[in-house]
Every structure is written in C-alpha cells, then in structure tokens.
Amino acid sequence: MSGDVARGEHLNNRPQPFSTTTRAHQHHGFQSAGSILRSLPGDLVVSKQKLRRADAIACVRMKRQEANQNLGFASRPFVLCGLPIKKPAAGQLLHERRNGQFSLQVTGHPSYGLPWGQDRLIPIFLATLAIRQQSQTIQFRSAAEMLDSFGMQQGGTQYRRLVAAFQRICGATIFFGTDTQRERAAVVHQARFNFMSEARIWYSRDADQATLPGGFQNEIVLSHEFFKEIMSHPIPTDMEAAKALSCSPAALDLFMWLSYRCFVAKGRERVPLFGDFGLVNQLGSSDYARPRKFRERLEGWLDLVRSMWPECPAVMDTTGTGLWVDRAAAVLPAGGK
C-alpha cells in the first residue's frame, strides 16, 4: 500500500461533541430495526444483542443517508495493521503485523499482557478526543461516557473489562515503521512509542455522576510520539459504525481498513489476500492458515461492512485470492453525499 493516508481536512476534522445516540429515531419515515424485527409474525426469537446491533446498523445507515455522520478518528498504525483479534496465549507478549511497506510490533506488559479484542476501541477513543480537543492532554467525564460512546452496556462486568483494557493499552509498547526502496538506497522510518505517558482515571457505576467533588475529570496525557502520529495522519471514521461493530473486532478492523483503502484508491485496484503482502497479514489475526477458512470469514465480515455501508465497492475476485477495491468514501463530507 502506498501513498499518504487520508487526511482529516479532506473531510471534516473540526472538533465535534460525541453523540451518545445508540438507536435510530423514528422520523422522516424511518423505523428502528428493532421495532421492525419485533413486528414480524411467527415465533422469531431475536436476542437483545442482535436487536441492539440491528438498531445500531439502522442508525449508521440513516445518518449516512442524511450526511450527518458522527465523525471520529483512528490512528494510522492500527488502521494499516490490526491489534490481536483473540486473546493471546498465556505468556505471549509480542504481536507482529505487516502491510506492504508498513510494519507493526506490539509488545505487551508482563503483568497485563497484549491489548486484544475490544481493547482496539480505546485508541480510537483517544485519537478522536485528541483531534476534537486539539490537545496532547485529553479529558473526559467518566468511564460511563466511554462505554456509551461505543454502545457498550454499563455494569460491573463491562467496567472491569474497561479497567483491564486500559491497563493493557497503557502498558503496551508500539514499534511502527516504514521501509521503501528508492533508486539508490533504502529509506527506513521507524518509531517506538507508548500510547500514554500518564493516565488519571476513575470509574463509577453511577452514570449520572458526571464528576467527582471538585470537578475532577479523567485526564490522559498521550505520549508525544502517539500524539504527533495522530495529528500528522488523522484517519476519519464513522463512530456509529464503530459502535455497531464493537463486538466484532475483525469486522471493525476490516471496516476501518476499507474506509482508508477505498478513500486513497486511484481507481479499481486488487489487494492480494495471501502472501507476504496479503490482507491476511494486515488484519489482527494469524489464525487463518487455510485459505478457505479465511475466505469464509472475510465474506462474513464483508457482509457486516456492507450492511452499514451498502455502497462499499470491495468484492472478492473470482479466484478467491484477491479483493477488488475502488475509490469511495465511507465517511462523507458534512452536508454532502
């Protein structure tokens, strides 16, 4: 993959407040997906989780049709190369991914381990606040605000998961580099960094408790290197789509990658699925040694992506060894289509 990343100013990188809407409103003739599913005849049994996802997808599509998307931002290393999808094996502290000239290494803290699964939501949250607040020191009111921002249910289990996720993210060391072959010499640009240099976070199960006495807020100081990377290469994303895919990390990785890859595409282009530069080496899982298994999973992830981005031009080629992409925008300019 070559070319600079999609810059935020090409779309709309003005700071915007988080939207905490998780259900599609019934207006302009729209009806929530949940109400549609409940009205169907017969003994159709739909879990609460599926109802929430259906409503979230309906919300994503409605906001896209209205050109009123909730704009967030992701950081380049974790769009080009994914964090682990599944929980790493005990004692595994190194995760490596490669995307063409880009390479990513994540080293986990011995006490907390590697970031994995839904932990990938935290870098999106941090990058979005850094862009919106235009500051290396970011603030937010409560852990409940973060859970709500990603459509996650509030409760003891989720709070414990959030605490553990912050510990893994805070303790991780990132090595991100690029290497290109010029006419006379190889050019290598590499950086090693942590996500945060300091974090002061409190957790409360009371969603109505905005701050502690004295107006205390959660405060995170991003590392200089991470903040510089975010500000230099902000990659826009649809926050409502991140909510809808929060329980499907692999599909979320694919959505983020396709959002970027289609935006920078110069026309119809083919991305190989396998080999040293294949898509299988870019996403956050190395569990798909058998091509057929990876193709099956990829089709399922693509179905999820298309459910909220129907115009997504990505399609597998007839040989099942490549993915065709074309120029398109998952995040529309404000007020335009």
Rounded Cα distance between 297 and 290, Å, is 11
Q: What is the pLDDT of residue 208?
A: 55
Q: What is the pLDDT of residue 142?
A: 75
Work out the angle at residue 233's Cα, subtended by the Cα atoms of residues 230 and 236, and round it to the nearest 5 degrees.
90
CB 173 within 8 A of CB 106: yes
User: Would the CA dihedral through 74, 75, 77, 83 be positive or negative?
Assistant: negative
Q: What is the pLDDT of residue 193?
A: 87
CB 169 within 8 A of CB 119: yes
CA nearest neighbour of 193 among 180, 177, 210: 177
- Residue 71 tokens read as 């704009």
Query: Dihedral through CA 258, CA 262, CA 263, CA 268, nearest 10?
Result: 170
Work out the angle at residue 110's Cα, subtended by the Cα atoms of residues 105 and 111, and round it to the nearest 5 degrees.
130
Q: What is the pLDDT of residue 31?
A: 56
145 CB burial (10 A radius; 0-12, 13-18, 19+): middle
Q: What is the pLDDT of residue 20?
A: 33
Q: What is the pLDDT of residue 36?
A: 54
Rounded Cα distance between 265 and 312, Å, is 13
- Residue 36 tokens read as 């549609």
CA nearest neighbour of 245 among 116, 75, 57, 68: 57
| Coil/strand/helix, residue 188 | strand
| Tokens 């298309």, located at residue | 306
E strand or H helix that includes residue 235: strand 235-238
Q: What strands, in cross-sheet order, belong to the sheet with 269-272? A: 269-272, 322-325, 315-316
Radius of gyration of the chain (CA): 20
Splitting the chain (337 residues) into consecutive groups of 10 residues, what average pLDDT does each group show? Answer: 42 38 42 56 62 85 90 93 93 91 92 95 94 95 76 77 90 86 54 87 59 69 94 93 90 95 95 89 73 91 93 95 96 67
Rounded Cα distance between 174 and 171, Å, is 10
Q: Is 65 left (phi over 0), alpha (psi -120 to 50) or beta?
A: alpha
- Residue 144 tokens read as 């409940």
The set of residues, in sequence order, having a beta carbon less than 8 Å from that of 31 and lying 6+ positions away, is 24
Q: What is the pLDDT of residue 291?
A: 87
Q: In the 8-state DSSP scheme, what is residue 54? A: H
Q: What is the pLDDT of residue 154?
A: 74
Q: What is the pLDDT of residue 334?
A: 64
Q: What is the pLDDT of residue 157?
A: 81
Q: What is the pLDDT of residue 23?
A: 37
CA distances from 129 to 15, 73, 97 (A): 8, 8, 26
Q: What is the pLDDT of residue 189?
A: 65
Crossing angle of helices 249-264 and 291-308, rounded to 10°: 70
Q: What is the pLDDT of residue 140?
A: 87
- Residue 34 tokens read as 């949940």
CB 203 within 8 A of CB 42: no
